[in-house]
A and B are shown apart, each in its own frame.
Chain A
Amino acid sequence: MSVSSDRAEPDQPGRAETSVETPEGAPPPAPPPGDAGAAGRRAILKRRVGQIAMHVLLVIGALVTLVPFLWIVIASTHPTSGIFSRPPNLLPGDFLVQNLVNLQAMTGFARVVFNSVLIAGTFTIIGVVVCSMAGYGLAKHRFRGRGVMLGTVLLTIMVPYHVLTVPLFQLMSEIGWINTYQAAILPFVANAFGIFLMRQSFLSFPDELIEAARVDGAGELRIFYRIVLPAVRPSLAALVIWLFIFQWNNFLWPLLVLTTREMYTIPVALSSLIGLSRIDYGAIMTGTAIAVIPVMIVFLFFQRQFISGLLGGSVRG
């Protein structure tokens, strides 16, 4: 009943529909040859139909998902008056450059994008280290106070953020951090969701392998860094993506602690364009469309990890 590990090499392309990847763009694996015949062909046909149905569903879903976003992109090429025309303008206009110029003039958008990248980038780097370490400690080590620690992690996300802002803001001004990058980065960097995500991911890692490494005399940090961490690469990628968009979209806290225009992040700068009687929606749409680009770069880069994270392979290596 046991399955020996050499029965299916982890790196070898298998045929299970649910789990195995082929390089992007390559055709799916061919059905097993040799068992031709009516039944085999029917099975192939059935699979084909299923495959086409899957694609149709995915494309419909993708269209539904894309429409609102495409609309933002189109709106970014119109002046405010063109955005609200009825019926809506469905074709791109020629106002993109002017919107960009306005956005830069009103918010200093280049600097704002820089701030966002710096803050979200630093936040993500520190966050990945802190969260994966804490998640590992909580999942794979037993120590006094572990329960308290897990409870604290959960407590910090259970208390609604809005009421925490007042005392947290007090704390920031006591230590003189108002209008500094670290005030925007550090308080939320031990991100509870991130820690929890990593804990859940490490839970699936076999204890025997850690024990074996200890017997071999490996240090705890080395075990973590060299053996355990590589095995959860897909989760690390998810963590990076989570941390980055959390901070990228974070609004209320940066609004409170970043008080001058040169320090604003993108959501804060876009929000500052909303007054009472005049709002430049063209500039807001353009800012939104631009704001997506860096996140998509991060996403595209890290989602590739979802192809190569088979558990067995990395342990062996």
Chain B
Amino acid sequence: MHRTPIRWLVLLASLALLVAACAEDDVADDEEVAADTPADELEGELEVWGWNVAAGSLDDLSEEFEEEYPGVEVDVRDIGRLDVYDRLTVGLEAGEGLPDVVQLETDRLATFINAHPDGFVDLAEYGAAELEDDFDPAMWGEVEGPGGEVYAMPWDSGPAGVFYRTDYFEEAGVDADAIETWDDFAEAGEQIRDEVGVDMLSVDMPGDDAEFRMLTQQQGSFYFDEDGDIAVTSDEAVRTMETLQDMADRDIVSNDADWDGLVSATSGGDIATVPFGVWWTGTLEEEVPDQSGDWGVFELPAFEEGGNRASNLGGSNLAVVADTDYPEAAYRFAEFTMADPENQAFGLDEWGLFPGYLPSFDEPVFSEPREYFGDEPIYETFAETVEDIPPVNYTEDFAETQEIMIDAQSDILLEGADPAERLEEAAELISNQTGRQIAE
């Protein structure tokens, strides 16, 4: 009995070698590309993965697509957001069980492409490169590879603004138009706290750094600079953390965990503003219907008077998986849904997905008044900021870096750590974990 564990280990080890010897990577061969099959001759069955509103919008559009391409069948599967990633991750690792088309958030895109460069179809082979000028340049930059590859079609973006309770502002005598800088914002926050008794905004202090990302991008900075070096010790990053810490110190920040925390703070009327991406519109209209008419939108305050007031939070893309049997049909589907003004306008109107496809900005939905927002045409406000949104470099190390930055934020906002010092520490750790250089 005593010898068996050793024999067992030997067996295991030899099996390990055997598996290693057999482990070959299936590399997709370069295939001949015929990209101009007429619509009525194209055939295929497409499985599309997305989640929630995005899947809903694709599902709506797939019927029209099938009319135009009678030989193609589209099956849109509405899978939860994290579930799409779990499945895609395992599928790409295993090289099996993948969809033809998949929704990918902008900040995750680089991670997947870097780990599986052969996992996605280069859409440039089907003519996607010609669409470049029609898309928001910041978004196009995210889907384009160094050699001109197009790894996905940009879909929606999240131009940022401040959603605010008009009734609270009025009650406290605060004029939203007069808020030009984050200092103004914090002062208004104190006034509202004193007059109305609610917090100015909600931050998920130990769980999400959305505000940090949004505000650094506003200043043209981010986790990384354009060379991929670590930029979290930049003046912009330090200033962002200081601004957030200042607001927390002024006691105008409600700390709410996760999405449901923010929704409950909002629906409970506990916060006066939500500085967020445009897609928050959908949540307000859907989940907090009884506050219709109480909300308005103004541009993000700047860091100094006259400074940039545009930024972005969130956004996603549609990629074609290399494993597909019908790459051309899949591309056509992506083109049909993503690069068509009417279809994109439909997505915004019906599902709150703000297009990255610029020709759609002329559609009526952009200038229509929204009842929920006191009949203001809020999409116009967001659309005006789009060209001023600075591009950012997410890199494949986004997820790992985000974890580290959330920890830093948590220490700064909750434990009163010094922003500059704590960010220095975070930069060291990011450098350790990712092997990247810290920007000078």
* Residue positions of A touching B, CB distance < 8 A: 80-81, 83-86, 145-148, 151, 165-167, 169-170, 173-174, 178, 252, 255-256, 259-261, 268, 271-279, 281
Which residue, of A145, A256, A272, A277, has the highest number of chain B Cβ atoms within 10 A? Answer: A277
Q: Known interface pairs A178-B97, A255-B86, A255-B87. Does A81 touch B283 (Cβ–Cβ under 8 Å)?
A: no
**Residue of B5, B263, B279 ringed by the most chain A CB atoms within 10 A:** B263
The 8 Å CB contact of A169, one of B54, B90, B286, is B90
Q: Are A279 and B259 in touch, CB under 8 angstroms?
A: yes
Report the nearest A residue to B79, measured CB to CB: A272
> Total number of A-B contacts with CB less than 8 angstroms?
110
Q: With a CB–CB cut-off of 8 A, which chain B residues contact A178?
A: 96-97
A275 pairs with B82, CB closer than 8 A = no
Evaluate contact between B52 and A281: CB separation under 8 angstroms: no
The verdict on A167 contacting B264 (CB below 8 Å), with A81-B290, A277-B53 known, is no
Chain B residues with CB below 8 A from A256, complex form: 86-87, 90, 97
CB distance from B283 to the nearest CB of A (A): 5
Give chain A residues whose Cβ lies under 8 Å from the Cβ of B264.
83-86
The reply to whether B52 and A166 contact each other, CB–CB distance below 8 Å, is no
When the two chains form their complex, are residues A252 and B86 in contact, meaning their CB atoms are under 8 A apart? yes
Q: Is the CB of A165 within 8 A of B90?
A: yes
Is B33 among interface residues, defined by CB-CB distance under 8 A? no
Taking CB atoms, residues of chain B closer than 8 Å to A275 are 51-54, 80-81
Are A276 and B90 in touch, CB under 8 angstroms?
A: no
When the two chains form their complex, are residues A166 and B94 in contact, meaning their CB atoms are under 8 A apart?
yes
Which residues of the partner chain A approach B260 to less than 8 Å between Cβ atoms? 84, 279, 281
B90 touching A261, Cβ below 8 Å: no
Given known A-B contacts A169-B97, A277-B282, A278-B283, A148 and B90 have beta carbons under 8 A apart: no
Are A272 and B80 in contact, with the CB atoms below 8 A?
A: yes
Q: Is the CB of B287 within 8 A of A147?
A: no
Contacts of A146 in B (CB 8 A): 1
A148 to B264, CA, bound (A): 54
Pair A147/B94 contact, Cβ less than 8 Å: no
On whether the beta carbons of A259 and B288 are closer than 8 Å, the reply is no
Cα–Cα distance between A121 and B215 once the two chains are bound (Å)? 52
Question: Shortest Cβ distance from A19 into chain B, in angstroms?
Answer: 36
B280 part of interface (Cβ distance < 8 Å): yes
Q: Is the beta-carbon distance between A173 and B80 smaller than 8 angstroms? A: no
Shortest distance from the beta carbon of B407 to any chain A beta carbon, whole Å? 22
Q: Is the CB of B96 within 8 A of A170?
A: yes
A277 to B279, Cβ gap below 8 A?
yes
Query: Could you tell me if A81 and B77 are in contact, using CB atoms closer than 8 angstroms?
Result: no
Q: How far is the CA of A80 from the CA of B283 in the complex (A)?
A: 11
CB distance from B42 to the nearest CB of A (A): 24
Set of chain B residues within 8 Å of A259, measured between Cβ atoms: 77, 87, 97
Give bound CA distance, A274 to B265, whole Å. 19
Cβ of A84: which chain B residues have Cβ within 8 Å of it?
A: 260, 263-264, 267-268, 287
* Cα separation A276 to B7 with both chains bound (whole Å): 51
Considering the complex, give the chain A residue whose CB is closest to the CB of B288: A81
Q: How far is the CB of B46 from chain A (nearest CB, A)?
A: 14
Instruction: Pick the contact of A274: B80, B94, B268 (CB < 8 A).
Output: B80
Instruction: Tell me whether B78 is interfacial, beta carbon within 8 Å.
Output: yes
* A169 and B268 in contact, given A272-B83, A277-B283 (Cβ under 8 angstroms): no
- In B35-58, which residues have CB < 8 Å from any A CB? 51-54
CB < 8 Å neighbour of B80 from A80, A81, A273, A277? A273
Q: Which residue of A lies closest to B50 (CB)?
A: A275
Contact of B267 among A81, A170, A261, A274 (CB under 8 A): A81
Residues of B within 8 A of A260 (CB): 77
Q: A81-B289, A85-B264 are in contact. Are A166 and B314 (CB under 8 A)?
A: no
Indicate if B342 sits at the interface (CB-CB under 8 A).
no
**Alpha-carbon distance A81/B5, docked complex (angstroms):** 58
Quick check: B4 and A147 within 8 Å, CB to CB? yes
Chain A residues near B265 (CB, 8 Å)?
Answer: 86
Cβ-defined contact, A272 with B78, below 8 A: yes
- Chain A nearest CB, measured from B235 CB (Å): 32
Which residue of chain B has the shortest Cβ distance to A275 in the bound complex?
A: B52
Shortest Cβ distance from B75 into A: residue: A260
Least distance between A248 CB and chain B CB atoms (Å): 18
Q: Which of A255, A271, A277 contacts B280 (CB 8 A)?
A: A277
| B4-A145 in contact (CB<8A) | yes
Q: B279's closest neighbor in chain A, by CB? A: A277
